Structure 1
Amino acid sequence: MPERPDPLLTSFARAAISRRSALTGLAGVAAAGLLSACGSPGRNATASGSGSASASPTPREATDLSDSEKVVNWSNWPEYIDIGAKGNHPSIDAFTKQTGITVNYSEDYNDNDEFFAKVRPLLEAGQDTGRDTWVSTDWMVARLIRLGYVLPLNQANIPNFANLEPTLSNVEFDPGRTYSLPWQSGFTGIAYNPKATGGKQVTSMDQLLHDTSLKGKVTLLTEMRDTVGLVLLEQGVSLDSVTADQFSAAIDVIQAAKDAGQIKGFTGNEYTKPLASGDTAACVAWTGDVVQLRADNPSLGYTLPEKGFPMFSDNFVIPAMAQHKTNAEKLINYYYDPAVMALVTEYVNYISPVAGVKDILVKKDPGTANNQLIFPSEETLARAQVFRSLSAEEETSFNRLFQSVVTG
């Protein structure tokens, strides 16, 4: 295997860009009455609507040029793939050598809605986006499916589909995985710095929001589904069936904690440095970030609440009018080979969606293979839930309520 940074000795720099960029900026949402924006750290995302049609339009598929053009154009999030000593991507190099297909790999997917704003005008006009596949978070996949902007996958071109982890095979927003396959997955839980909590563990949202010893030293995520999802689960609400009234009740809990001075702020993944330094005692945090932070600060604690916690995936999709659909499916199939996905998992430290990866890493990299945040047990997975997909109207309403707390 080419030389690369040890995944358990990675500095803050790798954690500085999150695959779960956070929702920011009420103004655009409130003014336009549109859907949530999922903004990257330090910038305001572009709010964009998803339309209100109740039925998905039929995607317009262009002529597939895969047989004549050995190329595939792939957009992904930054730092979300294996990187070699020379800054190359060994898994991509191996794919090209194996298939003769050149991969034009772009790390231009910094934010779900920002990216959507770039490709939506082309998709609406029935034009090629210049991309054959990209990686979108669950809720964005739901939007793309609803609008008819993605194509059904031809599973005949993806025999390694059989390696998909069973727990990810039948999600609510894409039953049977007709349109999407996960690239990486992760959990949302609670991180804490024992030096700032007086050695106390923080194990529940109730404690995070009401323990007065943490007052003014708590941060929550600006990603609605993660922060509100944890509160809903604490209240015994299932994320796959949450109602408007239940969502509103969870918002009231967060608002009360904010009014009491418990919460010092809402963040994207810029929570990492304050958590490590102790300026933040405890916060809502993503697994991949915490695995990386622990490399520099092993004392940091992380809890996946007993009552449940949100799980997310970032997913391969193929856009309407893709010019090299078959090549994109060959690429997806390639990464669903456990030996290939093991290269990626070993580097990015998120949860592999491909069965068999752990067996490979047990022999090759036991430290990664035995990390419960990267390879969770069946018991842990049973407590994880995916926030159900929302209609355009629900998403607008839910985000207005959440943003009233974040910015109010």
Structure 2
Amino acid sequence: MRATARKTISRRSVLRGMGGAGAAALLAGCGVPAAYVEPGERAGRDLSARDRTLDFANWPLYIDTDDDDTSKRPTLDAFSERTGISVRYSEEINDNDEFFGKISPALMNHQETGRDLIVVSDWMAARFVRLGWVQEMDRAAQPNITRYLDPQLRSPAFDEGRLHTVPWQSGITGIAYNRRKLGREIRSVKELWDDDLRGKITLLSGLDESFALLLQGNGVDVTRWTADDFHAVCEQIEGLVRKRHIRRFTGNDYIKDLSTGDVLACQAYSGDVIQLQADNPDIEFVVPEEGAELWAESLMIPNLAQHKANAEKLIDYYYDPEVAAELAAWVNYVCPVPAARDVLADSDDEELAALAEDPLIFPDDEMRGRLAIARDITSEERTEFAKRWNSIVGL
């Protein structure tokens, strides 16, 4: 295992879209219902036994690459050598809604997508699960997942028991700030609204990326938030925008604003801050006193996938703690395999050993006590909520 250079672009922070409304809302607006697929109609003919291949669609910058040859992916190459399964790996997912729009016509029409394994954010995974567009996995063939999956990620509301999804990587949406330029600490979401931060903070523009932390700042239990809770936050943020307290809403460009000092505090992803701290140790990441959102981006096997068993084998391979540790050392998000921490801690490489002590990769018990997985926005809520949120972002 080896240490790697920090990447200059974050995978998580390239999320774009229309506050999560996306393709599903467009389909509904055109009078085209998103077709539910019954459980008995989801499995295709599995060719895994005789066709030792696999099509895996992922996000850019979300797997380890060789320092000298970025076309080589050490953990993926090792899987092929170990199993004889050749993986056709593509980095075609740049936006949850865009990817949904790309493959939804096939899925709603009971057609094969050409992909055996995909990775999307859990709020989008919830949509796939509810529509019946992904297959239940055979956990008997996945002993590593059964043994090593982070208990805090085992049973999200949208996929009880994690039968249809498995986290690829996880992360935290919290607060980042420049301690030296601000001249004080931030420990609470409420502190973002202090007078000395007027015009110097940013929030995330995406509805699904932003709302949970803001709810938590108001003391709401995000595992069971209500429409009233959401609209109360919207009224609060709308008032702050009109007072010019919030500088703007951002995607990944908050990274630049925070680095240059144009912004002193912002909503941020834990993985981004690890990268920023390598160049600027004054940047701090905070899981607020009120709590922060623990999210995941998950692997799923679409309906009619032709290599389901091969896909299940690859997923379980990445839950081997040795493999999970190698991936975690490269991507720097919260590792969904806590046992990988011991692997890194035993490394002779000081940089790798230090990663084992980083709570943004392996949260300690105190931090975990303040993390929660938010219930996702339902299909009935989404159009109304996206319209309300986007009207505020556009002010």
User: TM-score with structure 2 length normalisation?
Assistant: 0.93
For 1:401 and 1:297, locate their aligned partners in 2 and report how far apart those are by CA, in whole Å.
Answer: 36
Letter in 1 for 2:232: A
Q: Deviations over 1:123-171 (max 9, x none)?
A: 1121111110011111111100111110001112211122111111111
Aligned to 1:31: none
Matched, 1:272 2:255: yes
For 1:125 and 1:374, locate their aligned partners in 2 and report how far apart those are by CA, in whole Å.
Answer: 40
Q: How does 1:93-112 map to 2 (within 5 A)?
A: 93-112=77-96
Q: Secondary structure at the match of 1:177?
A: coil
Letter in 1 for 2:124: M
Aligned to 1:353: 336
**1:390: how far off?**
2.7
Matched, 1:155 2:139: yes
Unaligned runs of 5+ in 1: 27-34, 38-44
Letter in 2 for 1:275: L
**1:214: how far off?**
1.2
What is the identity percentage for the equivalent residue pairs of Structure 1 and Structure 2? 41
Q: Deviations over 1:7-42 (max 9, x none)?
A: xxx2xxx2424325434447xxxxxxxx524xxxxx
**1:242: how far off?**
0.8
For 1:20 and 1:148, locate their aligned partners in 2 and report how far apart those are by CA, in whole Å.
Answer: 28
Q: Does the 8 A contact of 1:275 with 1:281 survive in 2?
A: yes
Aligned to 1:19: 12
Q: Does the 8 A contact of 1:188 with 1:310 survive in 2?
A: yes
For 2:217 and 2:257, locate their aligned partners in 1 and report how far apart those are by CA, in whole Å.
Answer: 25
For 1:247 and 1:15, locate their aligned partners in 2 and report how far apart those are by CA, in whole Å.
Answer: 34
Residue number among 183, 204, 213 corresponding to 1:221 in the alignment: 204
Q: Deviations over 1:331-378 (max 9, x none)?
A: 001001000011100000001111310000012222111111111112
Q: Does the 8 A contact of 2:212 with 2:293 survive in 1?
A: yes
Aligned to 2:130: 146
Q: Secondary structure at the match of 2:330?
A: helix
RMSD: 1.9
Aligned to 1:181: 166
For 1:54 and 1:236, locate their aligned partners in 2 and report how far apart those are by CA, in whole Å.
Answer: 37
For 2:164 and 2:13, locate their aligned partners in 1 and report how far apart those are by CA, in whole Å.
Answer: 21
Matched, 1:334 2:321: no
**1:49: how far off?**
4.7
Cα 1:361–1:275 shift into 2, 3 Å: same
For 2:104 and 2:155, locate their aligned partners in 1 and report how far apart those are by CA, in whole Å.
Answer: 27
Aligned to 2:49: 67
Aligned to 1:114: 98
Q: Deviations over 1:285-311 (max 9, x none)?
A: 000000011001111112110111111
Matched, 1:131 2:131: no
Residue number among 5, 17, 21 corresponding to 1:36 in the alignment: 21
Q: Does the 8 A contact of 2:17 with 2:95 survive in 1?
A: no
Residue number among 227, 250, 268 corresponding to 1:285 in the alignment: 268
For 1:282 and 1:19, locate their aligned partners in 2 and report how far apart those are by CA, in whole Å.
Answer: 19
Q: Which moved more, 1:56-65 or 1:334-343?
A: 56-65
For 1:258 and 1:17, locate their aligned partners in 2 and report how far apart those are by CA, in whole Å.
Answer: 27
Q: Does the 8 A contact of 2:48 with 2:309 survive in 1?
A: yes
Letter in 2 for 1:308: G
For 1:110 and 1:385, locate their aligned partners in 2 and report how far apart those are by CA, in whole Å.
Answer: 26
**1:379: how far off?**
2.0
Matched, 1:388 2:388: no
User: TM-score with structure 1 length normalisation?
Assistant: 0.90
Unaligned runs of 5+ in 2: none
